[in-house]
Amino acid sequence: MRYVIGVSGGKDSVALALRLKEVEPNTDWEYLITPTGDELPPMIEHWRNLERILGKPFIRVTNSNVTLNGLIEIQKALPNFRQRWCTRILKIEPTIAWCVKNAPILMHVGLRADEDEREGIYGDLVQSCFPFREWGWGITDVKDYLKRREIEIPRRTDCARCYHQRISEWRDLWRDYRHLYWEAAAQEAKFGHTFRSPGRDTWPSDLVSLAREFSNGRTIRGDGKQGEVCRVCSL
């Protein structure tokens, strides 16, 4: 049996990996990540730092080395609320395939005790367990534990061009990683669709118009709050 922990880099998966190594130091833990090729530099460094802390290189599982940008070209479409194929193709399916190939494995998943009951995201093909539920850990326990361990989670653990991000996060991408922002804007022009859903809020849906609002200094309500990315990506 191989004992595997899925480490997205979000608070729950990081706390789970660190705590399991503490309470079961003699277990040969393996750590699995699913890079999309669209992670921001702080996230990449975060993974490297966790590898140092946990004392083991992460297993990097990808879909035949296809990045998010490559997948966009293959699909000839942008991921959005109506087409959530990015997580399925780049994360869930490769993880299931790896687990089946390397069975038997026991996947440890960071679903907390204060979340709705779910059997996990990998279906019947992967044997999963949920230590947080067994321990009764909720969000407060996770945050307190990370604070004690002095672990800081990056502001963004999702993809740079995630359709689910807040306006403030698009603004930060435009400000701090302008080449990525305009690359995403060019993809919108090429495929005739937008990452953001039209009518989602009072802001423009397309990135070119959105950048114009940023340049004009339009106020962002709730600016500074961390976004809630796709729950599957942040386990």
* Token reading at 123: 């279906």
pLDDT on residue 16? 98
pLDDT in tens, 188-209: 999 999 999 998 899 999 999 9
Task: Evaluate if pTM is beyond 0.85.
Answer: yes
Other Cβ atoms within 10 Å of 136 Cβ, number? 10
pLDDT at 166 over 80: yes
pLDDT at 177 over 70: yes
User: For the chain, what is the mean pLDDT?
Assistant: 92
Question: Which sequence spans correspond to the domains of the chain?
Answer: 2-148
d(CA 220, CA 214): 9
Q: Which of these CATH numbers, 3.40.190.10, 1.10.287.80, 3.40.50.2300, 3.40.50.620, describes 2-148?
A: 3.40.50.620
Q: Give SS3 for 109.
A: coil
Query: What number is the average pLDDT over the span 118-133?
Result: 82
pLDDT on residue 146? 98
pLDDT at 64 over 90: no
pLDDT on residue 163? 94
